[in-house]
Amino acid sequence: DTAVSQTPKYLVTQMGNDKSIKCEQNLGHDTMYWYKQDSKKFLKIMFSYNNKELIINETVPNRFSPKSPDKAHLNLHINSLELGDSAVYFCASSPDSGGTEAFFGQGTRLTVV
Amino acid sequence: GESVGLHLPTLSVQEGDNSIINCAYSNSASDYFIWYKQESGKGPQFIIDIRSNMDKRQGQRVTVLLNKTVKHLSLQIAATQPGDSAVYFCAENQAGTALIFGKGTTLSVSS
């Protein structure tokens, strides 16, 4: 039974389109995250939610909007996709915010053409 | 820039050797450190963690060493196996913040 699952695993889309990536965790964790991994494998935090409330919002373009309908879900919506948005996006969760292990999903490889 | 970095982008070892992967961090307020392993096409997986009140922690075939004086973290893998081939990341944080990752070291194990 997958702990952190995200869909889709692969996403190929044209510039200018709007797309969403969904994430769900069944661990009962209070905190969820979105990370972006670039072509050089660098993992950078984008957002963090704790009990549906945004607690970390790094310097990310306004085109990226996270939505947390409940504490088990954190979806990522991206408007007006650009070539530079191509990356692997990872969802993660942890029992609370900071000082604990984060559990990662399998990633969504987004390719913008 | 990132607050955690790794000294070497790649490390190649022979099967059976011991591997040491190093990491330097810059935030002296960080109190929790963790090593992740990422295999191709997968998300990062937990290996071992350590809190700032410790300087060594051992797991199965892995040991993490923390030197707060020089802000250095290392991961030692004993008897490295081909299945250990992956990208290894160190990460740090403190309460209320998200894990901040370094750039990663690609470990290649040849048999």
Q: Which CA distances in Å does B100 have to A35, B5, B61?
A: 10, 10, 25
State the Cα angle at A85 between A80 and A90, rounded to 5°: 115
* Closest of B109, B81, B102, B106 to residue B27, by C-alpha: B102
The residue among B34, B99, B103, B106 with the most chain A CBs within 10 A of its CB, best to mutate, is B99
What is the DSSP code (8-state) at residue B13?
Answer: E
What's the CA dihedral at A78, A79, A81, A87 to 10 degrees?
-10
Instruction: Burial-class residue B94 by CB neighbours within 10 Å (0-12, 13-18, 19+).
Output: middle
| Number of CB pairs, chain A paired with chain B, less than 8 A apart | 64
Q: Which of the four pLDDT bands, split at 50, 70 and 90, describes residue B2?
A: very low
| Residues B42, A106: C-beta atoms closer than 8 Å | yes
Residue B79 — left, alpha, or beta (φ > 0 → left; ψ -120 to 50 → alpha)?
Answer: left
**Nearest residue in chain A measured CA to CA from B29:** A99
Each residue's pLDDT tens digit, B59-106: 999 999 999 999 999 999 999 999 999 999 999 987 778 899 988 999
Neighbouring C-beta atoms of residue A95, cutoff 10 Å:
14
- The whole-number average pLDDT for the span A54-81 is 93
How confident is the model at residue B1, as a pLDDT? 36
> Which residues in chain B touch residue A45, judged by CB atoms under 8 angstroms apart?
98-100
8 A C-beta contact, residue A22 and residue A6: yes
Least Cα separation, residue A9 to chain B (angstroms): 10
Least Cα separation, residue B4 to chain A (angstroms): 11
Which residues lie closer than 8 Å to A25 by C-beta, 6 or more apart? A3, A4, A5, A32, A72, A73, A91, A93, A103
- B residues 91..110 contacting A (CB < 8 A): 93-101, 103-104, 106
Distance CA A25, CA A18 (A): 24
Give chain A's mean pLDDT.
94
Each residue's pLDDT tens digit, B35-57: 999 999 999 999 999 999 999 99
